[in-house]
Structure 1
Amino acid sequence: MNGTGDVVSTARVLRERRARLDADEVEFLASVAADTEDLPGLAEELAPELRVSVREVENRIHAALDLTTRMPRVLVAMRDGLMDAYGARRVLHVTAPLSDEHAREVDELLAEKLARAPVSTWQPVNMVRHVSRLVHQIDPGGATARARQANAGRKVELLHGEHAQSRLTLDLRSEVASACYARMDSMARRLRRNGETRTLDQLRADIAADLLLGNDPGVAVPEAAAQVYLHMPIDAALAITDNGCELDGYGPVPGPVAREIMTNTASIWRKVICDPATGGPVDLGRTRRRPSATMRELVRVRDRECTVPWCHRPARHCDIDHEREWAAHQGGTSIDNTGPRCRRHHRRKNAPGWITRYDPTHGTTAITTPRGATHTGHRSPILTPRAQATDEPPPF
């Protein structure tokens, strides 16, 4: 690239190539979806191949079906290299509440608009604004129903990020969300006027957490009271090293952060006894009377996540499932015959065409899908096995 022209033309070529590849995927997914009645099963099978979550594959399949049946002109724009999958899905989100007939009307009007629109109109935020106007133009009487339908989909999502930070998002009605933010902002500004040194962003985040956890808002950094598992080697707990700490459902966390969680006055310690040869847990410190409850907790501590290789649902939110069925195959109720499966994969295990093999002792999973692809996974031990370690102390 020797000049501005080369840079611009290369950027244009890459954008068009990406849009056409996205269109290829849309047509592929729509084609295979048309040949099956089990869309969740198809998404489950394609997730490890596309290297995305099952939910993302389901979203792509539904988007592909909508583009081919409800908004074919948007798909044409993708084939022409004018719009990528991100922009198309933004358009689909706005038109989702419409009937098929109204969606196709918006599709036609949008195509006419984009055919003579300046470049800025193609930017997703501007295009969504224009599509929203078209939706209201085509179906003005449905605005109230669309608002109520959107409100019915309100939810809370936990999105784990990097550096031991995660994001908690709430989808709420606009006036409710605005009122929540205004209250947090007002409390944060009052604390700032009273000498608080945290930034307004930090204060708003801490106040939100305090309100959810039932703490006194803004007085100190919020302390969690819900149950999570924190795995720590004894040397990390004693600040000898900062390695080997892992937060259940999240992944590795720095040693100092793990020690802050450990020393929280609301934390409860529990001894986990590990086999030094395999690194896997074999027992828990007994603080409860019912062995079955202890066994379930040990299985969740041992496996940490759903046993399906591409699923990262925390084990504490999973069913404890028999590998050999209890009734049909005389499978015993023991830690050697049980493992955590999220509800989706618990139901999928015995679906036609799916072959699932899980070895709880060694933590290996092999899954063969209806179309013959086999995927394997292996859980990581809590303790580094003695054969791999030098002189590491036992876990805490």
Structure 2
Amino acid sequence: MPTAQHPPTAAAIAAMRREVQVALDGPSGLDDAGRLDAIRALEELACTVSAAQTALAAELAESVDGDQETLGIPADRRGQGVASMVALARRESPHRGRRHLGLARVVQRELPHTWSAWRAGRITEGRATVIARETACLSLEHRRAVDEALASDPVAIEAMSDRQVVAAATAEAARLDAASLVLRRRKAESERCVSIRPAPDTMVWLTALLPVASGVAVHAALTREADTARAQGDPRTKGQVMADELVARVTSDGADRGPGVTLDLVMPCDALLGTSDQPAHLVDLGPIPAELARELVAGAVASGDEVWLRRLYASPTTGELVAMDSRARLFPAGLARFIRLRDQVCRTPWCDAPIRHIDHVKSHGTGGPTSGHNGEGLCEACNYAKEAPRWRARPGPDGSVTTTLPTGHTCSTRPPPIATIRRRTLPALQVDYVLTG
């Protein structure tokens, strides 16, 4: 079988995949020991396949760098768009594509023992990523020394857990260059942030990346508040008290309410009126049940918060937003707001990142009009990627956007429908409510 050093062609890979698929069509005929051996063999194959993807990604990056050099692209801008190309091929987000490409650029050249264990199927891409991450702060000489200490024995590295690998890499890095760990800690502290992502059952994960002292202090304060409340007979669980207290402290929700918070809720008007249960869409979060959407609106009205209604017109055949009522005046950038509401998340396939840029599909400099038809919502990374050399994007008459990569591959996207169930050709409603005192 071809190795990661000499990856097979796409046709050969397709033939191997068909063979595996045929084997899945019926009972294997193996005993339990044979089944376990086969699972292990497939796991090693999966590791080798991921290593082959990495080798090809590194080759692609070198090829694009050379091509952009011939075009006169400055060195600090070369490689733009490669991570997005890799992400599209792997059917994953550009963020994951950048991580994969970053690993591909360094693992063969700077971590030879890790690369050898990976392409032999002894470690996963995740394990190789951990080693690369934990040695990123070191010089090339020290990085290779840690790589040799950890991965020169493939049997030993295979038997270690990720936590053991982190501990061993940190200890070896501290022995070789303790100052680098201090610089790494300071850099990590500068990257503190708060993020949000959807969770099941119309919940969200609100995550804060904090310096260890700050994080422990926040958790201790919430724990202390929960223990006090429970001791006084509060029927809520400890976790519920901590979550409610976090919301109350951050939003100043109570007697002393802080500045207003705007929530953008898009829903069919008949769902708002209670005559249907078509799902709504909470901007930057995703779909929510109609019942919850009505509760949010009713609760905002009952509490005296400001509620704005804006009519958004959806196509009766596709459910895509096609126009917005011109009377809306909550924000002056009405067209940009309409595109943001229509596209919901970054238009790049498999990205799903929040929209940060509203930009022309066909650039304004080449005659592209500033219109809803020629506009799309993208995250910052994807908007920069489409500006790379030899990338082309064109809007289609049906509202689609077709992007052509430098390799000639194309991908097309359409705005998501405002609702999956369409019983009437009624306009949708944009419900903005501002939480004020």
The answer to whether the superposition gives a TM-score over 0.5 is: yes
Instruction: Give the letter for the 1:52 counterpart.
Output: E
The SS at the match of 2:183 is helix
Shift of 1:364: 1.0
Taking the aligned partners of 1:110 and 1:327, their CA distance within structure 2 comes to 53
Shift of 1:203: 2.2
Shift of 1:336: 4.5
Taking the aligned partners of 2:179 and 2:360, their CA distance within structure 1 comes to 53
User: Which residue matches 2:310?
Assistant: 271
Residue-by-residue CA offset, 1:158-191 (whole Å, 9 max, x unaligned) = 2223322221222221111111111111112212
User: Which residue matches 1:52?
Assistant: 92
User: Which residue matches 1:131?
Assistant: 169
Instruction: Give the letter for the 1:46 counterpart.
Output: V
Instruction: Give the letter for the 2:121 counterpart.
Output: G
> Where in structure 2 are the equivalents of 1:228-239 lying within 5 Å?
228-239=263-274
Shift of 1:80: 2.1
Taking the aligned partners of 2:55 and 2:63, their CA distance within structure 1 comes to 13
Q: Which moved more, 1:202-211 or 1:274-283?
A: 274-283
Instruction: Give the letter for the 1:298 counterpart.
Output: F
**Does the 8 Å CA contact 1:368/1:375 hold for their aligned counterparts?**
yes
Candidates 257, 278, 293, aligned match of 2:333: 293
Q: Does 1:182 align with 2:217?
A: no
Candidates 256, 259, 266, aligned match of 2:294: 259
Normalising to structure 2: TM-score of the pair? Answer: 0.77
Residue 354 to residue 163, structure 1, CA distance change in 2 (3 Å): same
> Where in structure 2 are the equivalents of 1:1-396 lying within 5 Å?
4-37=32-65, 38-112=78-152, 115-116=155-156, 121-216=159-254, 225-265=260-300, 266=305, 268-274=307-313, 277=316, 279=319, 280-284=321-325, 286-288=327-329, 293-315=333-355, 317-319=356-358, 321-323=359-361, 325-326=363-364, 329=367, 332-359=369-396, 362-382=398-418, 389-391=422-424, 393-396=426-429
Shift of 1:28: 1.6
Shift of 1:259: 1.9
**Does the 8 Å CA contact 1:270/1:285 hold for their aligned counterparts?**
no
**Does the 8 Å CA contact 2:122/2:154 hold for their aligned counterparts?**
no
Residue 161 to residue 73, structure 1, CA distance change in 2 (3 Å): same
**Does the 8 Å CA contact 2:58/2:104 hold for their aligned counterparts?**
yes
Instruction: Give the letter for the 1:272 counterpart.
Output: R
Residue 18 to residue 335, structure 1, CA distance change in 2 (3 Å): closer
Shift of 1:253: 1.2
Taking the aligned partners of 1:167 and 1:126, their CA distance within structure 2 comes to 28
Residue 5 to residue 275, structure 1, CA distance change in 2 (3 Å): closer
Aligned residues: 383
Normalising to structure 1: TM-score of the pair? Answer: 0.85
Structure 2: 5+ residue runs without aligned partners? 1-28, 66-77, 430-437
Q: Percent identical across equivalent pairs?
A: 26
Taking the aligned partners of 1:100 and 1:340, their CA distance within structure 2 comes to 40
Taking the aligned partners of 2:180 and 2:348, their CA distance within structure 1 comes to 42
The SS at the match of 2:137 is coil
Structure 1 vs Structure 2 CA RMSD: 3.1
Q: Report which structure shows greater RCO (CA 8 Å, sep ≥6).
A: 2
Shift of 1:216: 4.3
Shift of 1:193: 1.9
Instruction: Give the letter for the 1:340 counterpart.
Output: G
| 4+ residue runs over 6 A deviation | none
**Does the 8 Å CA contact 2:345/2:353 hold for their aligned counterparts?**
yes
